[in-house]
Chains A and B, each alone.
Chain A
Amino acid sequence: MNASADIRAEPRLVGLSAVSGPSLSLVGVPNCGKTALFNRLTGSRQKVANYPGVTVERKEGRFAGPSTGRVYRLIDLPGAYSLEPTSLDEAVARDVILGRHASEPPPDLLVCVVDATNLRLNLRLVLELKRIGRPMIVALNMSDVAKQRGFRLDRAALERALGVPVVETVAVKPGGERALVEAIDQYRFTEHQTHVETPPPATAADIEATQREVRRILDEIGYRVPPRVALLSKLDSVVLNPIAGPILLAIVLFLMFQAVFSWARVPMDFIQDQINALGKVIGATMPAGPLRNLVLNGVIAGAGSVLVFVPQILILFFFILSLEDSGYLPRAAYMLDRLMGKVGLSGRAFIPLLSSFACAIPGVLATRTIPSSRDRLATIMIAPLMTCSARLPVYALLIGAFIPQRSVGIFNLRGLVLFTLYMAGVLSAMGVAFALKRTVMRGEERPLLLELPEYRFPNVRNLALGLWERLRIFLGRVGTIILALMVVLWFLASFPAPPGGATGPAIQYSIAGMLGRGLQFIFAPIGFNWQISIALVPGLAAREVAVSALGTVYAMSDTGDVAGALAPVIARSWSLATALSLLAWYVFAPQCLSTLAVVKRETNSWRYPLIMAGYLFVLAYAASFITYHVALALGAT
């Protein structure tokens, strides 16, 4: 390889900026442990982005070969059962493998990851890939689990039968990638090719011939499948039970939302204390003036009030990632298929919708596994109704300020209110989906056909990497968009300065104050004061910004300039009806530009993001209007 000379100079440099050596692609059927192996090979040296034009996640990482010092560029392709795609994910994998992808040259080496506990399914893809004649190594993954469960596995025999190098890997154990790394490092790379022969489309007879070949190979190498582990069968007899299964699902989801509130309390209090302490230190040491004002009221009050929600967001993602890793999510999708079918959605929509509880953007991205474009579009349209973690700060703030900490039976009242808000989102999503599928998105039903992978214990390392990735994204937002907006807002809220002899707080005379009062004409009927109205504007960039904007607005309205806790301030100055109305607003909350931008890119038109923003605004306004007036009528002042 001609690049190896350059790399030898700094063999340990494996950052993303390192000169690139041979390119490798991980391919394999979904659930074969491909991504765990990718994490094992590249550690945290990975870059997650999208393929241009489509929102299929593109994961790239690098690692160095121990003996040659070559730096390998590794791409984790989306899982695919076959080179004949039935989803966007599989289409991207096929295009890259066959060198048809516009921006991704064909890899120098395919690393085909196979699940040793299900060679029957996995080898068919290996044979299909072998037929296109690209350099290939087979990674016999989960070889430890296979041996534990009593599979008869003969690596050397499989290597002889397939005629390509086969190595055993254990993606979830340290060192489990060693044999693969060595095999890659010893691989004699040939000249980089850009042209790949495209095989003719397989006929039914071809597929059957391949399947017979798989059976022949399995017989030849003496691969024996033991009876299914009794424990797994027992687990499935409960999880898939028509009565117990749905009850279990409801319990799991309910626990998840309770945990978000109860487990997060201690770390949240801790972070709040640190922020307060920092504010005090800066207040005491910096000379008074506009700069101190900016740091205290803009940066600390603004960014600080969002940072507090890191524990809750991590707990939510912890649950979603663990459920995903354990194999439970597809089973939930199976159970909900009929229910979701009633509103015209496929059970497959469950996984993107559950991801949308974390953030609508990964949710929209996850719709790529839905084969039907109409189902996919309908799922995208309702994804923002799932309460995303960015709304959590708003809910948490308002619930913390207005709902008493009390037990209702065995439940926590605050947790119960939060659950109700989440349910309101889900139910309205169902309503919208029903309306869409009855009107503009009518179409024929598409197959469910979903693999239910074997259960496994979520891997701590993969969980940690996943959480770290989310934390980095969230903190990145706090550090960039949110911080910048807070500084802008602080500026708008500070200038022009109040005229001499003014009696009200300074912000009333500023640009922000004027803007807020202007917007109040629109929002007064639903009970929002001018502070809320102004906070909704920067909240367009990201929903959680509304909280930091409120933090800034109130910090600027107060006479003191210490960045204090926001909750007691709004508890004093808002009516309960206003708080409930704002909660109702945030169930729909149209303002999230990033989601709209992703939808625009995903659907390739302005039509759907505009419809989405429009319908969300109408629903939000109507819900807040009703909530506010009903609450007032019931005496919630």
Chain B
Amino acid sequence: MRTVLIHTRHMDAAAAPVGLALNPGYVSLSTLSPGSSGLVVGIGMAAGTMSSLERRLLELGFFSGEQFEILAESWPGRDPFVVRIGNTTLALRRREAESIWVEISRTR
């Protein structure tokens, strides 16, 4: 299996999803713009530990196979932004979305 690192502004190799080989198609949700949609791959956390933010993100539906769509971002600074996950609409800051890994099916 290939392991390729994609270098994006927010990317942190240590935060790659545990047990998921890095795939060139995976990006962090925090880098995306309104109109992007796709599937969640998983939450990247260092093995064995889970922050309360990561726990809550998992509970709210950010886990493998869920549909997401970026609906809006504020101005200026594009932060915070609004994402629809499953049937829930959430507002979160870019930094909070860094550990959410997704596979994009549509961009704008």
Contacts and interface: CB of A to CB of B under 8 A. Distances in A.
Nearest to A31: B88
10 contacts: A82-B56, A84-B56, A225-B86, A240-B72, A242-B75, A338-B79, A447-B53, A449-B96, A451-B88, A453-B89
A447 B91 CA distance: 10
Given A204-B43, A450-B92, A452-B91, A81 B72 contact: no
A338 B61 contact: no
B60 interface: yes
A81 B80 contact: no
Interface in A301-357: 330-331, 333-335, 337-338, 347
Contacts of B55: 82, 84, 202, 204, 207
B3 to A, nearest CB: 22
Given A207-B58, A347-B80, A447-B96, A121 B74 contact: no
B8 interface: no
A199 to B, nearest CB: 14
Contacts of A451: 60, 88-91
Nearest to A121: B88
A360 to B, nearest CB: 26
A134 interface: no
Size bracket, chain B contacts: 35 or more
Size bracket, chain A contacts: 35 or more
A163 B58 CA distance: 25
Given A121-B86, A241-B72, A337-B74, A204 B58 contact: yes
A452 B80 CA distance: 13
Given A120-B88, A121-B86, A208-B58, A334 B80 contact: yes
B72 A337 contact: no
A391 interface: no
Interface string B74-106: 111101101010111111110110000000000
A448 B63 contact: no
A447 B62 CA distance: 16
Contacts of B91: 330-331, 333-334, 337, 347, 448-452
B70 to A, nearest CB: 11
Residue from B53, B59, B65, B82 with most neighbouring chain A CB atoms (10 Å): B59
Interface string A241-281: 11101000000000000000000000000000000000000
Interface in B8-57: 43, 45, 50, 52-57
B77 A452 contact: no
Give the top 9 A-B pairs by smallest Cβ distance, nearest first. A242-B75, A240-B72, A334-B91, A120-B86, A452-B89, A450-B91, A207-B58, A118-B87, A447-B96
Nearest to B59: A82
